[in-house]
A and B are shown apart, each in its own frame.
Chain A
C-alpha cells in the first residue's frame, strides 16, 4: 500500500468532502481491483478541482478493513431461521411473565429466567410505525423506488402499561412493506408476511420478502 501526498489549502476545506470522497472512491476501487494505473489521473483531477495554493500538506492513506466473523446464533435464533425456511414464524414464551418473544430469545430479561417454550405464530401483525426510505445504506444513492420500512408487532403479543396506551412489550421485527403505496400506509394497519418461494428460501430474514396489508 502506498501513501500519496495531496496538498490543499484550508480555504478549500468546505468544498473538499465531495471531491475527496470521489478520489477515495477511485482509490479504493483501484486497491480492491488490483489496478493502480489511473490513480495518478485521479489525483491530478482532484488537484484541478481543489487548486493547490496550500501551506498544508496532508498524507492521504487509503486502507481497508477486512475483519471477518462467524457468528453462532444460539438455539433460539437458529430455530427461528429454520422456521423461516419452512415459512413459519417461531417465537418463545416466558412462562413466568407470559410475554411472547418474536424473534425468539432464550432468556427473559425481566424475570431473568431461561425461556424454553417455543411457539409458532401465524405471522399476522400490525404496523407499529413506518417510514419511507428514499435511500439505502449509501445516503448519496437514491433508491430506484422509495421503500416502505416498518416495525411489525405480531398479533396477540402486545403488553401495555396499566392505564396507558404505552406499549411495554411486543414481539416485533423491522421489515419492508409491499403491495402498498406509501400514501396508503398507516400505523395500526393489519399485515401478513409474504414469503419467497420454497426453492428460494435459505433460512434468513429475507425469506420474508415483505409484509403486505390484509385487505
Chain B
C-alpha cells in the first residue's frame, strides 16, 4: 500500500501550493484531485485583495484582515512571504509575474468590455497595468472566426468613461480583426486550439506578421494592443517575446471565458514545480472515504476507473474549493455539507443564502460560507475546538472570505496552502499546541 507524509486533496492554487511547499521540505507528498480546479476558469493572475477601497494589495489585505472572521485576520502577515516564495517556482515554469503587494491596484480592461482591479499579473497581461498616457490609444485586435472575443463590442464598451470609473483611461479604443493563416475559414475555434498553433514557431511567425499588418492599418500609432489570451501554451514566453518585439503597440492578453489559457499555464507551472520538488499528483480521483483514528487521519481512499486506491498518510490538506469547486455541497433541504470529512460548515440559513439582486453590492451571504479553522488552519467545531490534529484546510474552502467579490481568492489560496504545508512539516516546536487547547 502506498504511503505519504502528506496527502493533498485538490489541485487548485491552494492544493498545489501546499503540495510544493511540503515536498520541498522533504515530505513525501501525494496530490489527489477529481479534476482540474479554478485555475482553468480564472484569468491566471494572482488576485490578493482587489477591493474597490484599496489602493494596493497590501492596503486591501489590511482592510480585509479587519473584517471579523476573514482568513486574512490570521494569514495576512504571510501573504508577502508566500508570494516571494512562489514566484521563482512559477518563473521556472515559464510564467513570470509582474507586480507586488505595493503595486497600485489598476483597472485593467476585460474581454467583455468591462474592467477589473488587478496589481499582480502574468507578464503576458502586465502591459495593462501601467497608467494610460495622455492621448494613448488602445487597439483591440480580434481573430477572424474566433467566437469568444468580439473586438467591436469590447471597443464600444471600453470607450465609455463610466467603465473606467471616470478615471485614467485610453484616449481611444479601436477594434480591428485579423485573419490568421489557415484559420480564416475555420469555424468553432477555441482558445486552446489557437494557443497550440502559436506554440509552432513557423506558424507563429506568419501569424504575428499578419497581426502586425492589421494593427498598422489602424489610424494612429503606438499605444497598446489587447489580444485574446491565446499566445501559446508551452512556448508562451517565446510567443510573448516575439509579439512584444514585432507588434507596433505594446501587447497584452485579455483573459477569456473558460477554458482559460493563462490559467492553464499557471496550472502547468505549478504542476511542474511539484514534480521537480519530488511530489506526485493524480487527477481523476474521486475521494471515497477518509480513514481516521479519532483525531488523526490515517488513510485516504479514492476511486478511479475500476479500482479503489488507498494511500496511508501522516497528514491531510483539504483544498477542495468552495461551492464552485465542489468542496461544499448544498443540499435541497438547506444544509451545506463538506463531503470529504463531514466537517461542520459555517453558513447562513438557507433562506438567507442569496440576496434578491444578483449584483447586490453587499454580495450574497452564502459567499462567506466555509470551514472555520484555528490560526494553524486546523478545522474546528462550532465551539472552536479543533477536530483533527493532522488536517489542514486551505483555499476557497476557508470560511469568512468572499473569494470572488473581494478578489482575494488567489492570495488566500496561496498563503493558506503555503502555511498549511509549513504547519505540517516544519513548525517550530513552540508553536505546537496541545490537541484542543487552541481557540481561534
Q: Do the two chains bind? A: no
